[in-house]
Structure 1
Amino acid sequence: MAQVRRTPLAEQAADLLLERIRAGEWSLGSKLPGENTLGPQLGVGRSTVREAIRRLAGQGVLTTRQGAGVFVASLDIIEDWSTALRQADINSVIEARIAIEVEAAALAAERRSPTELGVMKRAGDQRDAQRTDIEAHVDADIAFHRAIVAAAHNPILVDLFDSFTPRSRQAMIDLLRINGEFGSDTDQHAHLGILDAITDRDGQTAAALAREHLLTLKIG
């Protein structure tokens, strides 16, 4: 049986599961084997199997029933549904980012230290340098925003940001792929504006600019 050989593993595992569903190994409505069975078949761990299932559920192929297992909901990807779900998830992520990052920007302007300001500026420079690769750009963007959250000196905001990062990262990658462009001068200037307000200890402006920037990312 074919095994995963390339990365990202979850995406490759999802592709292999989809191939098996298309080939008729599992009929519509049938239950998939458990993670302990699928993992060795695909050559990946349980966490990767879970992520592959989540991806296919987001594409309308699988459905998870609490306490019952994972079932085949469609024999192929439902393209329109998949796109709609991705867009809905992106907007939900952006709304959550607003809840965390707008307040963090205001607090960072009030509480940041000279050292933390230096970290934010270096992160801004690194973000500016990453304009050719989507994933590298998103990672640099996350580092910039995390530096702001850290400078807010609120450990709960930091914990929320960190626990939310994996889902936020994927949503931002999806967003940039949907948009077909990223790393514009306008986008970079928006981030520098937030940084300037934090530098000036202007919490009201920092919060307003953070909110304005994040709202521009929403779809629809």
Structure 2
Amino acid sequence: MTSPLRPLRPSPLVEQAAQHLREQITGGQWPVGTRLPGETTLARELGVGRSTVREAVRALAGAGLVRARQGAGVFVIATRPVEDWRTRLRQAAVNDVYEVRTMIEVQAARLAALRRTDEDVAVLDAAMAARTAACTRSDEEFVDADIALHAAIVAAAHNPVLTALYADFMPALREGLISLVSLLDVRAEDRERGYAAHAALVGAVKDGDPDAAVHEVRTEIAHTLRTLNGR
């Protein structure tokens, strides 16, 4: 039995309308293949304008729930929204993020060692100094400095796709690292917070030694993965 739609509160109307329509779909009231009521009908039942309904339906289409058919109307094509890349990353386990991070950073370190410029070297030196200075600061400040250093290495690879992919990883990586550092009290176990490993990585990139750069980044990330898996 279909549950009735109900009038909405004033704002934000588009988000509310999309949510109510989504509930009809995900709750099974409108199965796959169902044709949605027309804009006029939906607008009247939800107590909003047709333009609001149109935007809400567009949001459902973006989520992969509905599709418009020319001259036939809008039909339900799925009962679960398609998760975009950033949503999946936010929901992913830290361990899974780290495994993919390894794949990205290993190749980035190799390319950075081969392609780094004098400007990249200056950026790496500054990022390494900032990371060292952040060792005595808050966990959030330290993690931000650590990620900035790794991002500088990725940028030195001079591959815009790789750089953009790493940028997508950074929010999930930051959240996981802050939780990890706080949980494990890394400061007590290692007051330098991995200074030697990161200095060796930066040194390998600066020296133009791709094999050494790969070795250092593999070793550094593998250590973190072992820590994750052992706790």
> TM-score by structure 2 length?
0.57
Task: Give, in angstroms, the shift of residue 111 of structure 1.
Answer: 0.2
* 1:159-178 correspondence runs (5 A): 159-178=164-183
- The one-letter code sitting in structure 1 at the alignment partner of 2:179 is D
The residue that corresponds to 2:54 in the other structure is: none
The residue that corresponds to 2:53 in the other structure is: none
Q: Residues of 1 paired with 2:151 and 2:144: CA distance?
A: 10
Give the conservation status (yes or no) of the 8 Å contact 2:186–2:193: no
Deviations, residues 70-101 of structure 1 (Å, cap 9, x unaligned):
xxxxxxxxxxxxxxxxxx81211211110111
* 1:1-220 correspondence runs (5 A): 68=26, 89-131=93-135, 132-182=137-187, 184-185=191-192, 187-218=194-225, 219-220=228-229
- The one-letter code sitting in structure 1 at the alignment partner of 2:120 is E
Q: Residues of 1 paired with 2:193 and 2:182: CA distance?
A: 18
- The one-letter code sitting in structure 1 at the alignment partner of 2:131 is R
RMSD value, Cα: 2.4
| Unaligned runs of at least 5 residues, structure 2 | 1-7, 16-22, 28-91
Give the conservation status (yes or no) of the 8 Å contact 1:112–1:152: yes
> TM-score by structure 1 length?
0.60
| Unaligned runs of at least 5 residues, structure 1 | 1-35, 41-45, 47-64, 70-87
Percent identity of paired positions between Structure 1 and Structure 2: 37
Task: Give, in angstroms, the shift of residue 208 of structure 1.
Answer: 1.0
Task: Give, in angstroms, the shift of residue 175 of structure 1.
Answer: 0.9
Structure number with greater Rg is 2
